[in-house]
Every structure is written in structure tokens, then in C-alpha cells.
Amino acid sequence: MKFEQFFFGGDYNPEQWPEETWLEDVSLMQSAGVNLVSLGIFSWAKLEPQSGIFDFEWLDRVMELLHSHGVSVNLATPTAAPPAWMVHLHPQILPVTADGTTLWHGSRRHYCPHNPDYRGYAQRIARVLAERYKNHPALAMWHVDNEYACHISECFCEHSVAAFREWLKLRYTSLDQLNFAWGTAFWGQAYGDWNEIQPPRRTPAQKNPTQQLDWTRFSSDSWQVCFEEQKRVFKEITPAVPVTTNFMSFHRPIDYFKFAQLEDVVSLDSYPDTSQPDWMVHSAMTYDLIRSLKKDNPWILMEQAASLVNWRQRNAVKRPGVMRLGSLQAVARGANGIMFFQWRQSKFGGEMFHSAMLPHAGTDSRTWREVSALGNELPRLSNLLSSKVEAKIAILMDWENWWALELDSKPSSDLKLIPNLQAFYRQLYERNIMVDFAPPEADLSSYKLVIAPNLYLVTGIAANNLNNYVANGGTLLLSYFSGIVDNNQHINSGGYAAPFHEMLGLTIEEFVPYQAGFNNTIRTTDGKQFKNTFWADVVHLNTAETLANYEQDYYAGGPAVTRNTFGKGTAYYLGTELLPDGLEWLIDRILEQAQVRPDLPNLSAGIEVMLRSDKSKEWLFILNHTATSLEVPTGKNGTDLLSGQEVNGMIHLSAYAAAVIEQERIYRGVV
Ligand code: GAL
């Protein structure tokens, strides 16, 4: 998708307001620099008040009004909010939980993705919308549904069971293959007929791990199918109009790497908890993931809060300057659009205390002033619309691995992927080193360093990819409980981490998951001591050298951190979990060896730096997340696009302020 301007705006729900308000809305939008709104997201009941009876006149008037005020429309399909009549006519569209409870009408997302009646209605409303607005000059984009798999991610109704069986038939073609993959020889679970197969419902003891994994794969695919059905309609009727749906951070139920390939542009809803001192690390990591889903393509921040949300126990305001800073953080990490939930704060309904661009207090308010100031300054950044973020490090992220890793009955049920990804990510964030996320089967050749935390499930293709990456000169850091199972979740024979033995130059005999509160220490070969926690692998070296050994317990003296030269590259292995100081030591060593350096070294804590660049220019984003004014080195001279001022090697940033310095492109980062 080509961006001609930064998008700025939000969800617009005019159906909650009398028509008199609409005129005020559009003129305020104009004054706040709004150029795009997401319209009609929950309007199904108003657009189709009875089955097949449509009322578009109000929407026609809204579209015209927006268009005449220079606001384009990201037109939504309202399919996340099936109307009451549909539920009344077809109660079987309602989703059913694993224990058989039906979830009723009265909020939203109350549909089963496998229900044929629902899917028919959804495609029909998409088609009617597309036919009606296909030539409307305000139509800029299609927004399909809203946050797939939010609130409910799976359905256990009879339609879902039937769809699961069909999905399994396609995947395995024969029951013999399914029985093999699911390992049904264990506990006599063999199937002799497809109709005997059930989803992983409540069982007396451990469920079949592969059955559970396939169910999650299937459920993830099902949301994709719903999206694709609507997208097909749009591609038929409005082939040139981009299609998106709004994603949600590290959202476990859907494999976003897979899903994103179906979208013309990736978009994200982001609600960091700004009461947490490290909120910006969480949002940075999310933005880097979202950018990586469609590498080298800009994305859109489709929703964020202007200030507080209303769904946490205690909802933090965004303090003065924080909303702007967070928005610029998204731009720094590849966003070409800053949008909000929602335009005007609701007067009623479940979200009336959720902040909005135009708050209950009206325009004489801090929120409005900050929102309209941002909308009016974003166009100053238009030079960088076609720039990219070029990272030299990738952290591997694989949804299937995430699902499999966190199923029950593991050596430790406390092993969770995202906190571990974050521990590595934080090390790089704090050094202001740019990071992509990549699936393990991706082309990794452009990265100097790849970090793979807990890559428990690894396909043959991924294992080859990683081995080749190192053999061809890459540096890899793999952490414990990696390479353990194949695609079917069967143990890889030949000792743990078998697909990587040669590359790592070691074998792993057993795991030692620690009891809560138990720690150990490691002693490094350069004389340092660090605490390690949670887990220890009992490792036997082959060609690898040890960089640190355990100090206590029966495996004392055994390697905790190793390094091995493999082909032209180097593979590091971390057989335990380190606290931040130990991780800092390890990452420093690896970065030095991989020759990756920060763009601007030795910055004060709380300063975030990112770079977007094109062939001839680069834009250095400097964000001050602290409550104090700071002098920050800028590396070289340029112009701060936000203030319009020339910068000579140093910039003064007041509390929560930011600069975007346009500079001639130089060779940076990688020595
Ligand atoms: C999002 C959703 C919006 C709104 C918002 C509130 O998840 O897409 O419709 O509910 O949360 O934070």
C-alpha cells in the first residue's frame, strides 16, 4: 500500500449521536488535522435493521459530510456485532465455550466463526457495502471486522466440531496419518472414524498435546477464513482499495505472521499501561513485531487511547506529553498512521469512561489540545513516509512454538514465551539497537545476529534454515528447551536439541527445572559470577567451548553458557535463565563478536533512539521518556522536523519531548 500522507484520526461512531452533532464532528476533525476515520465498525443493527432490509441513507450522509471536510473513510464491515434479529433467527450463530456454555447477545463478538448462516450474512453485508460505496471518493480502505479472536478465540459448537474434522482431513488425508501425528497409541486414543474426533474438551486427565495444538492451529486458521471471505468480496468489487483488519499486539490465538500475508496493510490496536515505568519497552516490542509481520512495509496504528482506557482495574491517564511521545514511538518503529479509539467519547454504553480524541469535557481540555496539536504536526514528517527501519538483529517468534510450548504437562508449567522474548528484547532496547522479529523459516541472511528464545517446536525446514544461517556466517543465540519437538510435537530423537547438536557443538542429557525460589550461580570464564534461575540444562560439550559453568548442585562445573564455531558462523547456547545483569554480560559479548553497535552509544537511561531511512536520507527519532530535560548527542547535524530547528551535534529535549532529525544518510550501526 502506498501512503501519500500520514493517517490521523480514529474510530467514528456517529450512530451514537443525533445528526446535529455530525456537523460539529467534521468541523472539529478538520481543525484537529483528522484525515481518516474508521466508520461503521459496530453498525450492523443500524445498517441492516431486519434481515435483508438495509438502511444506508444515514451512512450516505455521513460519508458525504466527511468527504466534504477532507476526511477519508476506512469503511468497516460491522461483522463483530451481529444484530439481535440474527441471533433470534439463528441462535446457533452464538459461540459455545469448551464446557458447553453459550455466550449471548448483549455485548459484541458473539459469533461462531464456523457458522454458515453467520458467514453468509457477513459476506452479504460486505457485498452490499462494497456495491454501494465502490465509487465513493471518501472510500480509502476496508476495515474488516474488529480484532479477530478478541474476547473469544475458539468455539466448541457442533458446526465447529464438523469444521475441525474437515480441517483435519485436509491436513492428514488419512486417519492413519492423524493417529500417527497425534500419537494415539498413547493411552489407547486411536480413531477409526473421522466422526469420533472431538475438540479438546474437558477430560479427566492430560489432553492429547497434538490434538490441542491442531485445535489451536485450526482456530487460528478459522479467523483467517472469515477475513478472506470478506476480502474476496472487496477484491472483486473494489480491487484497488486496500484491505486490513486491526491486530492486537502479541495476541496468542492468531498466527499473525500467517494472517498478515493476506492483508494489504497491517494495522494494530495498542493500549500500553502507562502506569508501568517500562510501558515504552512493551509498546516498542509490539511495534517491532507488527512492523516485522510484513517486513519493509509501513503499518498503521489503528487504535490507541487518547488517555485512559476503562478495562483495567485502575486506569492510568496518559500524563501530559505521553500520548504524543507514544505516538511518535509508533512512527519511529514504522507506523505511517496514528489513529485512536475513538473520535468522540460515548455518552452511554460499556465504554463511556474510555477516553477519546474529543472528551466529555469538550475542546477546552488537555486531551483535545494534545490530540489536535499532534494531528497538526504529523504532516511535518511526510518526507519519511516511504522510509524503512533496517534492523541488524532478529528475535525469532513463532506462534506454533508459542502454542506448543505453553501447553500443559511440561517439565515446568511456568515456562512462558513472551516474558523470555522480552528479557532479550529489553537488553537491545536499552542499548537502542533496532530489532526485527522473524519466524524461524524466514530468510535471515540480512541479520548479523539472531536470537531464538525457547524454540521448543521446530520444523525440519526451520532447523535447516537456522543451521544454514550459522554455517553461512551468522551468529545465533539459542536458549534452553529449544529443538525439542517436531511439527507433530514428537520428541526429536538423539538427545535433546538433536536438530542443533552439530551447530551448537553439544548435547543435552536432562533438564533441571527449579522449584520456586531456588537459584543457582554461574561463574564465567572471564571471572564474573551471576545468579541463574528457573531452569538448568545438563549439557555435554562436544566441539563447543564453555563461557560459564554452574557453581552449585549435582551438575556444578557443567556448562551453562557455550559458544561453538560452526561453518563460517558462531552459535551460542544459554542453558538457563539469567537475571538482567547476567544477560547484559552475555549480550555485550555476543554483540561485540557479531559487530553490532548502537547508533548512538552511551545515552542516558530513558532516551529512546530509532532510525528510519531511505536511500538518501535518514530520520533519527530521539524520545525523552524521562520527567527531566536532557542534552542528547545526535551524532551529526540535521534539522529537527518537529521544531523546524537546525541541530548541531547535540539537542536539548525537555521532559517527555521528542525530536525527529532529518539527516543525510550515513553508514551506521554495523561496523
Ligand atoms: C479495542 C476495540 C475497540 C475498543 C477499545 C477500547 O480492543 O477494538 O472497539 O473497545 O478496545 O480500549
| Band of residue 584 on the pLDDT scale cut at 50, 70, 90 | very high
Cα(192)–Cα(168) distance, integer angstroms: 14
Model confidence pLDDT, tens digit, residues 64-122: 999 999 999 999 999 999 999 999 999 999 999 999 999 999 999 999 999 999 999 99
Rounded to 5 degrees, φ, ψ at 327 are -70, -45
Tell me the C-alpha distance between 78 and 72, whole Å.
18
Is the minimum distance from the CB of 149 to ligand 1 under 6 angstroms? no
- Whether ligand 1 lies within 6 angstroms of the CB of 25 is answered as no
CA distance 371 to 8: 10
Pocket test for ligand 1, best of 147, 244, 251, 344 (most atoms within 8 A of CB): 147
Ligand 1 atom nearest residue 150's Cα: 7
Q: How far is the CA of 199 from the centre of ligand 1 (A)?
A: 30
For residues 343, 345, 348, 353, the Cα torsion angle rounded to the nearest 10 degrees is 130
Q: Which residue has the cell 499532534?
A: 374
- CB-based contacts of 53, cutoff 8 Å, min separation 6: none
Phi, psi (deg, nearest 5) at residue 10: -175, -175
Q: Using CA positions, which residue lies closest to atom 11 of ligand 1?
A: 341
Mean pLDDT of the chain: 97
Task: Grade residue 671 by pLDDT with cuts at 50, 70 and 90.
Answer: very low
Average pLDDT estimate for 623-643: 95
Residue-range domain boundaries for the chain:
393-594, 607-664
pLDDT at 665: 87
Q: Is the pLDDT of residue 669 over 70?
A: no
Asked whether 340 and 356 are in contact (CB, 8 A), the reply is: yes
Work out the number of other CB atoms within 10 angstroms of the CB of residue 515.
6
Q: What is the mean pLDDT of residues 213-231?
A: 98
The answer to whether the CB of 271 is under 6 A from ligand 1 is yes
Nearest to 144 by CA among 163, 125, 116: 125
The reply to whether ligand 1 has any atom less than 6 angstroms from the CB of 146 is: yes
Reply yes or no on whether the pLDDT at 670 is more than 60: no
For ligand 1, the distance from its centroid to the CA atom of residue 309, given in whole angstroms, is 9
Q: What is the Å distance from ligand 1's center to 302 Cα?
A: 10
Q: Band the pLDDT of 635: cuts 50, 70, 90.
A: confident
Q: What 3-state class would DSSP assign to 87? A: helix
Which atom of ligand 1 sits closest to the CA of residue 309? 12
Mean of the pLDDT values across residues 514-532?
97
pLDDT per residue as tens digits for the range 303-334 = 999 999 999 999 999 999 999 999 999 999 99
CA gap 659, 653 in Å, rounded: 8
Q: Output the residue whose Cα is nearest ligand 1's atom 12.
A: 309
150 C-alpha to ligand 1 centroid (Å) = 9
In this structure, which residue's CA is closest to atom 1 in ligand 1?
A: 269
Catalytic pick among 48, 147, 154, 263: 147
pLDDT number for residue 138: 98
Looking at residue 364, its amino acid is D
Best CATH choice for the domain 393-594 from the list 3.40.50.880, 1.20.1560.10, 3.30.565.10, 3.40.50.450: 3.40.50.880
- Structure confidence at residue 668 (pLDDT): 52
Ligand 1 atom index nearest CA of 42: 9
Q: Indicate which atom in ligand 1 lies nearest the CA of residue 41.
A: 9
Distance from residue 307's CA to the centre of ligand 1 (Å): 13
Distance from Cα 341 to the centre of ligand 1, integer Å:
6
* Fold topology of 607-664: Immunoglobulin-like (2.60.40)
Q: How confident is the model at residue 667, as a pLDDT?
A: 57
Asked if residue 145 has its Cβ within 6 Å of ligand 1, the reply is no
Catalytic residue (one of 48, 154, 263, 303): 303
Residues 436, 407, 155, CA angle at the centre, nearest 5°? Answer: 95
Is residue 430 flagged as an active site residue? no
537 pocket-lining for ligand 1 (C-beta < 6 Å): no
Average pLDDT over residues 292-299: 96
109: left (phi > 0), else alpha (psi -120 to 50), else beta? left
Nearest residue (by CA) to ligand 1, atom 4, is: 341
Residue 640 C-alpha to ligand 1 middle, in angstroms?
34
Helix, coil or strand: residue 636: coil
Q: What's the CA-to-centroid distance between 249 and ligand 1, angstroms? A: 13
Residue nearest atom 3 of ligand 1, based on CA coordinates: 341
Does any ligand 1 atom lie closer than 6 A to the CB of residue 269?
yes
Which of 83-92, 579-588, 593-602, 614-623 is least confident? 593-602
Per the annotation, the verdict on 4 as an active-site residue is no
**Strands 393-396 and 335-340, how do they pair?**
unpaired
Counting atoms of ligand 1 from 1, which one is nearest the CA of 147?
A: 8
